[in-house]
């Protein structure tokens, strides 16, 4: 066995606490402003350093009991801020609970810093309590990862069992970041490198794709001690300018905006004079060139059949028609890089870092054909205007008829179309809207018009996991500087129940203005549109897919201290959405199967 150095003495502190202070100081100096923390013994040095930085006002610390909720809360903050967010947990299964948020962040290109406290290497693989193989746990879902050195040195005679020579790994996904491997794995030395990798930058600021980074942080007792923690906030590393691909105007082109596309898709559509197919989760469904009823038009041979080129922003996931178009080998597909995997459904898609439009005249005939077809497919979900003539008529029967019509309109039950329309109408640019991966997002995509609203959705893997926690993170980030606005989360009842633990908020932390709007149809009716609905026995379909639950959302709201209201009519829904929201609210909307 190799010789083992003696333990380093650190006056006034411990190696673990000093290393934790130095690492967090380095992160703050490189733009980290938010840290989500779950309690645990092994992570106590990190937790205490974070709390001290919180008291100094240089780091916002958000405490969550459940690591899965913590991971998605960090994901939501990073979604909104586009800056890396640190999430700290203890060893063992705690780290495994970060995997769902890590997978989503990887596929969506969201920067996260996973700081997992660990047992020292000699306790790995020998049956020690709360010790497992955390190093490499997140596999290819991280942009970069490092198994840090144990702070200080080992006690004489202690064996470095389980220690790895490859403490820094750049893996399949991480290789694209260009982060230099200088072999330094002391905790403080990893700070800036982790931020650079999470932002998808090389040491020179060359842009790549953002995503999660894993720092596994082993330490020996003592794990906490009094130590000085002083941080000077600094800026995050910046991206170098992108050299865009210049698109000529000769081809009949459409612009497709999927999840996380952002306003850049609308800008290119406007510059090129090209029709814009913008999913409701894209944040690009606005402007004069938005195509309504795009599913039907893509199937129209006179329109969809004549497309020669598609320019794609974000991650399209909401329609089979778009997926089918992007899989055609007779179309040139240009995809702007965003998530962890490059779009390439047809085997010949060109991935680029940015696009621009060459000078020249628009193809007015091509654009006009799309706009005319789009105008005929606009869905108007406005409530019918009152019959003022009837209401003020001298004819008694005419007045009664008009009154009955008004009462019927007021008492009409909310359906899915009215629900998504009411939420869309209530939301403005200073607000935030988060769609869960429920049936409602597909209804919204089919019927809602254009509006410049900041929209979020976890469509990297299109799962229902962590929807509430992500929305809370978005709310915390968007309201951090005292900004106005409400964050609305629109989801189904199963997505709500799947993440109900995220409703637990610390009493001593600011509670954001957030409305969680639950379309409750008593189960997973999204399966109605899948092939299983036509092939499975009714009993199996109900038990294994619809999973009816009968949960009392009002009781859950009371248990977690959220304001609750149930609405079933349009007028009540509109009032609930637009009333002042001083804190967290749950709005339940019963829906028919």
Please give the Cα distance from 258 to 131 (Å, whole number). Answer: 41
pLDDT given at position 298:
98
Same domain, yes or no, for 433 and 582?
yes
| 8 A C-beta contact, residue 471 and residue 116 | no
Same domain, yes or no, for 85 and 193?
yes
Same domain, yes or no, for 60 and 156?
yes
pLDDT band at 125 (very low <50, low <70, confident <90, very high): confident
Please give the Cα distance from 116 to 149 (Å, whole number). Answer: 13
- Higher per-residue confidence, 480 vs 408: 480
Same domain, yes or no, for 81 and 203?
yes
Residue 117 domain-assigned?
Answer: yes
- Among 379, 363, 369, 419, CA closest to 292: 379
Same domain, yes or no, for 568 and 454?
yes
- Higher per-residue confidence, 7 vs 573: 573
- Higher per-residue confidence, 88 vs 130: 88
Q: In this prediction, what percent of the chain has a pLDDT beyond 90?
A: 73
The per-residue pLDDT for range 301-331, each reduced to its tens digit, is 999 999 999 999 999 999 999 999 999 999 9
Same domain, yes or no, for 430 and 546?
yes
pLDDT exceeds cutoff 50 at 164: no
- Domain limit, last residue, from 203, 218, 233: 218
- Higher per-residue confidence, 583 vs 519: 519
> Which domain CATH number covers 288?
3.40.50.1220
Please give the Cα distance from 381 to 370 (Å, whole number). Answer: 22
Spatial strand order of the sheet with 350-352 comes to: 276-278, 253-257, 309-313, 332-336, 350-352
**Among all chains, which residue has been given the structure tokens 């967090």?**
24
The per-residue pLDDT for range 488-530, each reduced to its tens digit, is 999 999 999 999 999 999 999 999 999 999 999 987 676 776 6
Same domain, yes or no, for 80 and 45?
yes
Domain count, the chain: 3
Same domain, yes or no, for 339 and 195?
no
Residue 385 domain-assigned?
Answer: no
pLDDT exceeds cutoff 50 at 550: yes
Residue 387 domain-assigned?
Answer: no
Residue 565 domain-assigned?
Answer: yes
The per-residue pLDDT for range 69-110, each reduced to its tens digit, is 999 999 999 999 999 999 999 999 999 999 999 999 999 999
List the single range of 191-205, 343-357, 574-588 with lowest mean pLDDT: 191-205
pLDDT band at 408 (very low <50, low <70, confident <90, very high): confident
pLDDT band at 226 (very low <50, low <70, confident <90, very high): low
| 8 A C-beta contact, residue 34 and residue 60 | yes
User: Sign of the C-alpha dihedral, residues 482, 474, 255, 349?
Assistant: positive
List the single range of 135-149, 214-228, 365-379, 392-406 with lowest mean pLDDT: 392-406
Same domain, yes or no, for 23 and 171?
yes
Q: What is the mean pLDDT of residues 226-243?
A: 86
Kindly report each contact of residues 568-573 with a partner whose C-beta sits within 8 Å and lies 24 or more positions away, as own/partner.
568/413, 568/414, 569/410, 569/411, 569/412, 569/413, 569/414, 570/383, 570/409, 570/410, 570/412, 570/414, 570/418, 570/422, 571/410, 573/414, 573/418, 573/419, 573/422
- Domain limit, last residue, from 200, 218, 236: 218
Please give the Cα distance from 397 to 412 (Å, whole number). Answer: 22
Same domain, yes or no, for 213 and 350?
no
Same domain, yes or no, for 360 and 417?
no
**3-state SS class at 557:** helix
Please tell me whether the overall predicted TM-score, pTM, comes out greater than 0.85 for this model.
Answer: yes
Domain that residue 319 falls in: 245-375
- Higher per-residue confidence, 527 vs 460: 460
> Which domain CATH number covers 560?
3.40.50.970
Residue 495 domain-assigned?
Answer: yes
Same domain, yes or no, for 68 and 107?
yes
- Domain limit, last residue, from 375, 399, 425: 375
Residue 388 domain-assigned?
Answer: no
User: Sign of the C-alpha dihedral, residues 582, 586, 588, 589?
Assistant: positive
Please give the Cα distance from 36 to 25 (Å, whole number). Answer: 16
Residue 231 domain-assigned?
Answer: no
pLDDT band at 160 (very low <50, low <70, confident <90, very high): very low
List the single range of 209-213, 339-343, 555-559 with lowest mean pLDDT: 339-343
Q: Which residues on neighbouring strands pair with residue 251, listed in sequence order?
A: none
| 8 A C-beta contact, residue 577 and residue 423 | yes
Tokens coding 263: 């306003």
| 8 A C-beta contact, residue 273 and residue 237 | no
pLDDT band at 174 (very low <50, low <70, confident <90, very high): very low
The per-residue pLDDT for range 282-302, each reduced to its tens digit, is 999 999 999 999 999 999 999
Residue 225 domain-assigned?
Answer: no
């Amino acid at each position: 066995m190799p010789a083992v150095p003696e333990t380093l003495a650190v006056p006034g502190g411990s190696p673990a606490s000093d290393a934790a202070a130095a690492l967090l100081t380095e992160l703050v100096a490189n733009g980290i402003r938010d840290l989500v923390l779950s309690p645990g013994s092994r992570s106590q040095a990190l937790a205490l350093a974070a709390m001290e930085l919180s008291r100094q006002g240089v780091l916002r610390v958000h405490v969550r009991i459940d690591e899965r909720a913590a991971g998605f809360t960090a994901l939501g903050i990073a979604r909104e801020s586009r800056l890396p967010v640190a999430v700290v947990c203890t060893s063992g299964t705690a780290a495994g609970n970060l995997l769902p948020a890590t997978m989503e962040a990887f596929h969506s290109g969201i920067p996260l810093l996973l700081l997992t406290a660990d047992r020292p290497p000699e306790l790995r693989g020998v049956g020690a309590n709360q010790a497992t193989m955390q190093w490499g746990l997140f596999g290819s879902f991280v942009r970069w990862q490092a198994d840090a050195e144990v702070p200080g040195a080992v006690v004489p005679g202690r064996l470095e069992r389980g220690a790895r020579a490859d403490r820094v790994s750049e893996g399949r996904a991480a290789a694209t970041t260009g982060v230099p491997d200088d072999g330094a794995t002391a905790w403080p030395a990893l700070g800036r490198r982790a931020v650079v990798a999470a932002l998808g930058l090389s040491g020179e600021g060359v842009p790549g794709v953002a995503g999660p980074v894993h720092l596994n942080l082993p330490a020996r007792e003592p794990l906490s001690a009094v130590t000085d923690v002083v941080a000077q906030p600094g800026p995050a590393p910046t991206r170098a300018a992108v050299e865009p691909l210049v698109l000529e105007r000769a081809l009949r082109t459409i612009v497709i905006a999927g999840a996380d596309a952002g306003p850049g898709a609308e800008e290119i559509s406007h510059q090129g004079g090209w029709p814009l197919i913008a999913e409701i989760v894209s944040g690009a469904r606005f402007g004069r060139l938005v195509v309504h009823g795009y599913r039907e038009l893509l199937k129209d041979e006179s329109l969809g059949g004549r497309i020669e080129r598609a320019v794609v922003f974000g991650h399209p996931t909401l329609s089979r028609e778009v997926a089918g178009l992007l899989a055609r080998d007779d179309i040139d597909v240009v995809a702007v890089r965003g998530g962890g995997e490059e779009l390439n459904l047809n085997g010949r898609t060109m991935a680029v870092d940015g696009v621009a439009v060459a000078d020249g005249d628009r193809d007015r005939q091509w654009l006009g054909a799309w706009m005319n077809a789009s105008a005929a497919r606009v869905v108007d979900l406005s409530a019918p205007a009152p019959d003022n003539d009837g209401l003020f008529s001298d004819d008694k029967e005419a007045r009664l008829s008009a009154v009955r019509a008004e009462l019927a309109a007021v008492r009409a039950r909310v359906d899915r179309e009215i629900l998504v329309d009411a939420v869309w109408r209530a939301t403005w640019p200073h607000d935030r809207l988060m769609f869960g991966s429920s049936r409602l997002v597909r209804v919204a995509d089919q019927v809602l018009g254009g509006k410049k609203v900041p929209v979020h959705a976890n469509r990297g893997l299109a799962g229902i996991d962590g929807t509430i926690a992500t929305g809370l993170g978005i709310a915390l980030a968007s309201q951090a500087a005292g900004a106005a606005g409400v964050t609305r989360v629109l989801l189904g009842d199963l997505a709500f129940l799947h993440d109900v633990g995220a409703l637990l908020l610390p009493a001593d932390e600011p509670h954001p203005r957030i409305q969680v709007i639950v379309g409750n149809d008593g189960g997973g009716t999204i399966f109605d549109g899948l092939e299983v609905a036509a092939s499975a026995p009714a009993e199996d379909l109900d038990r294994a897919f619809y999973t009816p639950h009968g949960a009392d959302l009002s009781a859950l709201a009371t248990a977690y201290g959220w304001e609750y209201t149930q609405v079933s009519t349009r007028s009540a829904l509109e009032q609930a959405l637009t009333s002042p929201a001083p804190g967290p609210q749950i709005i339940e909307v019963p829906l028919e199967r």
